[in-house]
Structure 1
Amino acid sequence: MDIGKVIRKYRKEAGLTQEEMANRLGVTTPAVNKWENGYSNPDIELLAPIARLLHISLETLMSFHEELAPSEVAEMIRELDSMLDSEDFEKVYERAIEMIREYPNCNALIWQIAVILDARRLCDDSVDPEKYDEQINSWYEMALQDENEEIRRCAADSLFGYYLRKKDYEKAEVYLRHFSDKDPMKKIHRGRLYEMKGEKESAYKVFEDVLFSEYQILNFAFIHMMNMAIEEKDFKRARDLAEKIGTIAAVFEMGKYHECMSMLDVVCAEKNIEDTCKVAEQLLENVDTLFDFRKSELYRHMQFKEVEPGFLERVKKDLMQGFRNDEAYSYMAEDEAWKNFINGFRE
Structure 2
Amino acid sequence: MEIGSIIRSRRAARGFTQEQVAQALGVTATAVSKWERNASLPEITLLPALARLLGTDLNDLLAFQQEMTREEVSAFLDTLHRTAGEGGLAAAFALAKEQRKQFPRCGLLALNTALTLEGLAALAGVPLDTEDAQWVRALYRQAAESADSAVAAQARAMLFSQALEAGAVDQAEEWLQNLPPQPLYDKSSMQARLALARKDWAKAGEQWEGNLLHQIGQVQSTLLSLMDLAAQEGRREDIAPLADAACTLTHCFGLWPYETWSVRLQQALLTEDVEGGLTALEGLLDTLDRPWVLGPLFRRLGRRETASLTAQLRPAILRELTDPDNSTYDLLRDSPRFRALVEKADPC
TM-score class normalised by the smaller sequence: 0.3 to 0.5
Q: Is the radius of gyration larger for structure 1 or structure 2? A: 1
Q: Which has the higher contact order (CA 8 A, sep 6+)?
A: 2
